[in-house]
């Protein structure tokens, strides 16, 4: 992918993804990551299928897919460097995710977004069909307790 700029490559190779940079993005969003400790983020990334947009080997976009790779996936932590938004990088990441061989036959995908509904709608996402059936268990204080105990 190139738009008159350097070509963009999408990779799932964690060794090539700048997790420090991604963590800095995610950690800035209190509502998003809830002050997630760096070690927790590292463990989450290693347990997920991660997709990154690279420009000259610099990580400029990221998305994490949490999945059993057979029936279900949860899309998380989608982010594009603000200086590079508007170039189709998020769209490119989503296209690669949806075409990934281990994710193409999943029965259910979920995600939460505050402002990117249009991006995800292009890939078949819509509002919950039966929201009354979904439940959550949320612990907003877990990372604070971890810090207090550590």
Highest mean pLDDT among 22-31, 96-105, 137-146: 96-105
Give me the pLDDT at residue 5, please.
Answer: 67
Task: Say if 64 falls within a structural domain.
Answer: yes
Q: Tens digits of per-residue pLDDT, 74-108? A: 999 999 999 999 999 999 999 999 999 999 999 99
Question: Is the pLDDT score of 33 beyond 80?
Answer: no
Task: Say if 115 falls within a structural domain.
Answer: yes
Task: Say if 28 falls within a structural domain.
Answer: yes
Give residue 73's domain range.
8-149
Task: Say if 113 falls within a structural domain.
Answer: yes
> Which residues pair with residue 65 across a beta bridge?
49, 75
Paired tokens of 7: 């070509």
Its pTM stands at: 0.88
Q: Tens digits of per-residue pLDDT, 39-68? A: 999 999 999 999 999 999 999 999 999 999
Paired tokens of 38: 């760096």
What's the chain's average pLDDT?
90
Give me the pLDDT at residue 142, please.
Answer: 84
Task: Say if 42 falls within a structural domain.
Answer: yes
Question: Is the pLDDT score of 2 beyond 50?
Answer: no
Measured CA to CA, the distance from residue 134 to residue 91 in angstroms comes to: 28
Domain count, the chain: 1
Task: Say if 52 falls within a structural domain.
Answer: yes
CATH number of the domain within which 100 lies:
3.40.630.30
Task: Say if 37 falls within a structural domain.
Answer: yes
Task: Say if 85 falls within a structural domain.
Answer: yes
């Amino acid at each position: 992918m190139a738009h008159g700029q350097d070509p963009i490559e999408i990779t799932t190779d964690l060794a090539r993804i700048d997790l420090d940079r991604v963590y800095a993005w995610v950690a800035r969003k209190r509502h998003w990551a809830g002050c997630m400790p760096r070690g927790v983020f590292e463990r989450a990334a290693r347990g997920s299928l991660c997709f990154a947009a690279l420009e000259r080997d610099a990580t400029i976009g990221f998305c994490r897919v949490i999945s059993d790779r057979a029936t279900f996936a949860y899309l998380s932590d989608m982010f594009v460097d603000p200086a590079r938004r508007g170039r189709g990088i998020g769209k490119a990441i989503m296209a690669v995710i949806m075409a990934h061989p281990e994710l193409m036959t999943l029965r259910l995908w979920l995600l939460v977004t505050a402002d990117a509904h249009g991006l995800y709608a292009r890939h078949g996402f819509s509002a919950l069909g039966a929201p009354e059936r979904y439940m959550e268990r949320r612990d907003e204080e877990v990372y604070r307790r971890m810090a207090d105990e550590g």
